[in-house]
């Protein structure tokens, strides 16, 4: 086995800080062609089932990116292609972030591209531009191993050396990191890097002041944390970087000053002497409550309230009565089937993703019922609004909200009336 467990968590201490508006991912708008290449290595081969799980996460990430672009008034569409889901693309070794930092990985991945019919990554880019008419293109190389995902973005230095060869941008996605399964947030995070997004979490590339300020100003940013993707957003700094929103004069204050980060360039309407600290904005928007406790951004709270209504209007929904194991009601939720089931419905449990225990919602792979636990589905669930609303994302490509309309949880006999709002990807594997 390549993975040690199935808990869906994310560690986003991975990435590459890049130049913007060059390479094959120029701006997050228009049509985007995504090629998924599943690379098998000895002992960690892909099969159709494991690859489909990653496809589902990719489609979930694409749906989220589409919604985020719409929030900024932009329209994007995705087209997908793929190779190697059946284990047919094989390499004698896999590469990781350490390998990437120690040398150029283009020869390795160009060789992989030759096994699927392209001369190199550059020829793939030409094909998407000339034959598919794509405005942007990227390659995701998936490994069925445990390591640290990262993105390769074109830099002005490499482009000046060979603009055709180094134009193609790609990310390397591992199925897990430190024993925990990757999720849609990891994929969306790395795709955003390809379009120019900066990391906002504490790392060697940001000062403590920068990362602390980012955490206060943009607590929901996916460039800080990607778990529970339905509750993440593209913050305004990164919206500017990827081409979705306008610039403010303090955005470049978040730019890394390290040698590694200094090689990226951005198109800015402000001269260096016009760049200011976000401190004034930070103090204006971030208020302490009357007890002296830190409060949330007023701006952020207003946005959350408006976004909930907008999101629910866009989602499909169904209503159900659910209960704990001692309630006599159904405990198993299938978003795919738009239905709920009990232990007696043995023939219908293969699509269950979420289980209600009476005290909480859990992932299907944590269920006591053996059929549900081993059906291959999982979900990540986050409690919102003091337990009246729950956000979820499933390995089957759905995400949304469970809203409690009536009832209280807390016992194995608890019963609830719920409305389940969800959205799913309309992408099909090629």
Could you give all domains of the chain from N- to C-terminal order, each with its CATH number? 30-263 (3.40.390), 278-312 (no CATH), 315-424 (no CATH)
CA–CA distance, 409 with 257 (Å, rounded to integer): 50
Q: What is the pLDDT of residue 313?
A: 75
Q: What is the pLDDT of residue 266?
A: 64
Q: What is the pLDDT of residue 154?
A: 72
Q: What is the pLDDT of residue 223?
A: 94
- Per residue, what are the HEC states of 170-199? EEEEEEEECCEECCHHHHHHHHHHHCCCCC
- Other CB atoms within a 10 A radius of the CB of residue 146 amount to 18
Q: What is the pLDDT of residue 379?
A: 85
CA–CA distance, 343 with 330 (Å, rounded to integer): 8
Q: What is the pLDDT of residue 323?
A: 94
CA–CA distance, 161 with 169 (Å, rounded to integer): 16
Q: What is the pLDDT of residue 408?
A: 86
Q: What is the pLDDT of residue 21?
A: 62
Q: What is the pLDDT of residue 259?
A: 38
Q: What is the pLDDT of residue 311?
A: 53
pLDDT mean values, one per 10 residues, the chain (430 residues): 30 36 85 96 93 93 93 93 95 75 78 94 93 95 92 62 68 89 93 91 82 91 87 92 89 68 58 71 46 38 38 82 93 94 93 93 91 88 72 84 88 92 60
| Strands 180-181 and 415-424, bridge-based pairing | unpaired
Per-residue b or e along 380-417, where b marks 16 or more CB atoms closer than 10 Å to that residue's CB: bbeebeeeebbbbbbbbbbbbbbbbeeeebeeeebbbe
- CB-based contact 238:221 (threshold 8 Å): yes
Q: What is the pLDDT of residue 58?
A: 95
Q: What is the pLDDT of residue 429?
A: 39
Q: What is the pLDDT of residue 162?
A: 54
Q: What is the pLDDT of residue 12?
A: 29
CA–CA distance, 17 with 122 (Å, rounded to integer): 21
Q: What is the pLDDT of residue 92?
A: 81
Distance from chain centroid for Cα 226: 6
Distance from chain centroid for Cα 21: 21
| Residue reference for tokens 């040698």 | 259
Q: What is the pLDDT of residue 251?
A: 86
Q: What is the pLDDT of residue 206?
A: 80
């Amino acid at each position: 086995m390549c993975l040690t467990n199935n808990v869906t968590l994310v560690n986003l201490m991975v990435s590459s800080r890049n130049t913007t508006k060059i390479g094959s991912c120029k701006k997050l708008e228009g049509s985007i062609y995504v090629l998924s290449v599943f690379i098998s290595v000895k002992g960690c081969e892909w099969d159709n089932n494991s690859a489909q799980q990653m496809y589902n996460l990719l489609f979930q990430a694409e749906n989220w990116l589409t919604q985020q672009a719409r929030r900024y008034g932009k329209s994007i569409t995705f087209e997908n292609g793929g190779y190697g889901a059946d284990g047919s693309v094989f390499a004698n070794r896999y590469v990781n972030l350490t390998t990437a930092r120690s040398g150029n990985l283009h020869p390795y991945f160009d060789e992989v591209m030759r096994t699927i019919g392209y001369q190199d990554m550059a020829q793939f880019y030409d094909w998407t531009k000339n034959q598919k008419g794509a405005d942007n293109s990227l390659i995701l190389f998936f490994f069925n191993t445990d390591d640290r995902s990262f993105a390769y973005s074109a830099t002005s230095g490499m482009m000046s050396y060979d603009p055709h060869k180094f134009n193609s941008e790609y990310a390397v996605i591992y199925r897990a990191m430190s024993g925990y399964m990757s999720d849609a947030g990891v994929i969306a995070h790395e795709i955003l890097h390809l379009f120019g997004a900066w990391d906002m979490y504490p790392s060697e590339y940001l000062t403590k002041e920068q990362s602390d300020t980012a955490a206060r100003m943009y607590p929901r940013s996916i460039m800080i944390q990607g778990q529970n993707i339905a509750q993440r957003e593209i913050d305004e700094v990164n919206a500017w970087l990827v081409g979705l929103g306008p610039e403010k004069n303090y955005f470049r204050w978040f730019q890394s000053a390290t040698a590694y980060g200094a090689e990226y360039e951005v198109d800015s309407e402000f001269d260096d002497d016009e760049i200011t600290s976000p401190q004034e904005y930070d103090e204006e928007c971030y208020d302490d409550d009357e007890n002296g406790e830190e409060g949330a951004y007023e701006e952020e709270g207003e946005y959350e309230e408006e976004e909930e209504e907008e999101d629910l209007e866009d989602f499909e929904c169904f209503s159900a009565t659910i209960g704990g194991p001692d309630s006599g009601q159904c405990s198993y939720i299938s978003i795919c089937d738009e239905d709920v089931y009990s232990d007696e419905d043995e023939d219908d449990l293969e699509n269950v993703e979420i289980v209600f225990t009476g005290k909480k919602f859990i992932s299907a792979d944590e269920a006591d019922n053996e059929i549900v636990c081993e059906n291959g589905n999982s979900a990540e669930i986050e409690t919102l609004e003091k337990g009246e609303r729950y956000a979820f994302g499933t390995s089957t490509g759905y995400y949304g909200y469970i809203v409690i309309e009536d009832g209280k949880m807390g016992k194995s006999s608890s019963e609830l009336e719920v409305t389940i709002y969800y959205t799913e990807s309309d992408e099909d594997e090629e």
